[in-house]
């Protein structure tokens, strides 16, 4: 039966790859800074799912008891994503205060 079928690592990798591609498309097509930030978060979440899938017990050998490599890397990525979001939102708010828009095409004035 399909209801009791086990989910293999390849399903997690497929979901992670789909999230990664959707995030990359979102970053490439959005002109709004907040849309681009959402794309970056999708890319990072797709990478996190892949890290956790590669660290799963299904891919570990018998001698490896903990296997927390993927989870630790994903936790590190989550911390970096939180810091990135805070800095990017501060930049977006500052840009909005100066230009009354968050359109990325207006950001060419920032070149120094």
- Does any domain span residue 17? no
| Cα–Cα distance measured from residue 53 to residue 48, given in angstroms and rounded to the nearest whole number | 8
**111 lies in a domain?**
no
Is 83 part of any domain? yes
Select the more confidently predicted residue: 105 or 37: 37
Q: How many domains does the chain have?
A: 1
In the predicted model, is pLDDT for residue 25 greater than 90?
A: yes
pTM, whole model, 2 decimals? 0.77
Domain presence at residue 1: no
What's the domain range around 99? 31-59+66-105
CATH number where 79 lies: 1.10.287.3510
């Amino acid at each position: 039966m399909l209801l009791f079928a086990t989910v293999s690592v390849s399903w997690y990798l497929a979901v992670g790859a789909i999230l990664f591609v959707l995030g990359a498309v979102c970053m490439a097509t959005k002109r709004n800074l907040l849309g681009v930030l959402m794309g970056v978060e999708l890319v990072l979440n797709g990478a996190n799912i892949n890290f956790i899938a590669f660290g799963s017990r299904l891919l570990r050998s018998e001698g490896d008891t903990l296997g927390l490599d993927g989870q630790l890397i994903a936790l590190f990525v989550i911390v970096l994503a939180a810091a990135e979001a805070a800095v990017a939102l501060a930049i977006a708010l500052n840009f909005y205060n100066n230009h009354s828009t968050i359109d990325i095409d207006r950001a060419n004035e920032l070149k120094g």
